[in-house]
Structure 1
């Protein structure tokens, strides 16, 4: 598979992949989880006009809605937040989660470095955190004979006592998010195991994060090689591309990054789609135990 990645990027991803292979995720304290609904259909990659967004995966449709004054979550940060939230909920079995003693300490858990300014990581984290936890989800299943719709907020409450100008400073009160009861049960009911080191390695690309979590999920149950048409992948991962060939080119570029980190995954791009073959999951049973 040809690649447009820079030598520095390739070296970095390979080094992180080797570190992952050297030590099981649980032994490295890197065992994480992602909610299945967010793996089957994904969040926007870029800013979306309006306050409604839809992704499709076969008969499954995920619709995301947000208050118009706040806006929809998009990009890598909401994905990092979802991985953290799901992992913490699975570990603690609690709906109320503490977001670190300070903004800086929480950013470190997400693999982010604090940077200031209008486009810095501090501003983006505060903005995307509010967007994500204000969002409402509708999950629909329709196969021609039966229809099922289910809607829920991601969080009942989020309280962020973060100091933007001094991210190291601890707040007088804890910053917390209380997951909605429905999302909490969605999160802890058969979550998708992921390696948080892979998430941090791919954090610069929201599509690469989506491809990684989806592939390790598919690998957990796939019994035979399966061809997924490019048109179906476009609906699931990038429906905002004007032409299918543009999506295909972007997808393959991001897939190269994922394959470098998740080396045991078996995939092959052909004219009509992507062949996904039975592969080892990125989190072995030993790590999940």
Structure 2
């Protein structure tokens, strides 16, 4: 069984860049020293985007992208003249949006006076140029805010559908050439009513320090948020086949074997910031054991909806 007590630092991240490894260890020390709420790092993710997620890499100019989790299916369609959002940046933005919506209980969110201030919230360092963080973040935000998201659940005798778009209005006043400069007007995003209701109904609590430490890997972010949710109610050991996990998270990997190797690497990283995590990887599957969730589950009196108890979650 994997736990930090049985792993050396070399085992945790054997081939990792020293700087990335140092970031993980630093985050782990901060997390162990102080809980997410007390440290002001309590964040949230939309549950529908935990159970099935955005692509990890650029899917190209395709009409739609989909992922499945048992009876649950997530379909993402690009906005006009836009591509589908992918990678770590839209995941970090979604975590920020969900956290702010839960905190303020308002669909209209202020993104900060300057681009640098907002990027600091996401754990990103502003860099310019074609491949810089500023360019990539702006592009992914435009894709995310214009995308159409559909959540579908279909099983015997029942069909449920929910069509969502993240934002109804977006107004960004940041100057990419002057990221530190405060704009004359504040940058704002107004969430659509269906998306706002979805993310505040039953958000999944996560630690923003962990997200920042894992931000280089979309797969790592997906696994961390999913495990935090899954283990919040796990009562008995459970097993998920690598093939089922591949269907849920691994659409970017052509072969299940390659996906399995990637998951094992990311689990070792997650274990660094979450030493209580207990799991094994016997042949063909991932076995999870009950353990404290990384952040305590948020209780809700919301009625059953299309995300409740999908197979394979």
Q: TM-score, normalised by structure 1?
A: 0.95
Name 2:16's counterpart in structure 1.
6
Partners of 1:241 and 1:25 lie apart in 2 by 33
Determine which of 246, 252, 257 is the counterpart of 1:245.
257
Deviation at 1:259, TM superposition (A): 1.3
Name 2:176's counterpart in structure 1.
164
Determine which of 10, 29, 42 is the counterpart of 1:31.
42
Secondary structure in structure 1 of the residue aligned to 2:281: strand
Deviation at 1:11, TM superposition (A): 4.0
Is 1:236 aligned to 2:252, yes or no? no
User: After alignment, is 10-19 or 159-168 more displaced?
Assistant: 10-19
Secondary structure in structure 2 of the residue aligned to 1:270: coil
Alignment deviations for residues 34-55 of structure 1 (CA, whole Å, 9 cap, x no partner): 1100100011100012131101
User: After alignment, is 276-285 or 50-59 more displaced?
Assistant: 276-285
Determine which of 93, 118, 121 is the counterpart of 1:106.
118
Aligned ranges for residues 105-144 of structure 1 at < 5 Å? 105-144=117-156
**Number of residues paired by the alignment?**
286
Cα separation, partners in 2 of 1:138 and 1:280, compared to 1, 3 Å? same
Name 2:189's counterpart in structure 1.
177
Determine which of 87, 90, 94 is the counterpart of 2:99.
87
Partners of 1:126 and 1:6 lie apart in 2 by 28
Determine which of 152, 161, 169 is the counterpart of 1:149.
161
Aligned ranges for residues 181-196 of structure 1 at < 5 Å? 181-196=193-208
Partners of 1:258 and 1:104 lie apart in 2 by 27
**C-alpha contact 1:10 1:260 (8 A) present in aligned 2:** no
Secondary structure in structure 2 of the residue aligned to 1:109: helix
Deviation at 1:271, TM superposition (A): 0.9
Partners of 1:37 and 1:23 lie apart in 2 by 29
Partners of 1:285 and 1:160 lie apart in 2 by 33
Q: TM-score, normalised by structure 2?
A: 0.88
Is 1:48 aligned to 2:78, yes or no? no
Partners of 1:42 and 1:279 lie apart in 2 by 24
Partners of 2:196 and 2:157 lie apart in 1 by 29
Partners of 1:135 and 1:76 lie apart in 2 by 16
Deviation at 1:7, TM superposition (A): 6.9
Name 1:200's counterpart in structure 2.
212
Point out 4+ residue stretches in structure 1 off by more than 2 angstroms. 1-12
Name 2:272's counterpart in structure 1.
260
**C-alpha contact 1:4 1:253 (8 A) present in aligned 2:** no
Alignment deviations for residues 105-160 of structure 1 (CA, whole Å, 9 cap, x no partner): 11111111110000000001110011011111110111233221111111111111
Partners of 2:194 and 2:57 lie apart in 1 by 27
Name 1:17's counterpart in structure 2.
28
The alignment yields a C-alpha RMSD, in angstroms, of 1.5
Partners of 1:237 and 1:285 lie apart in 2 by 22
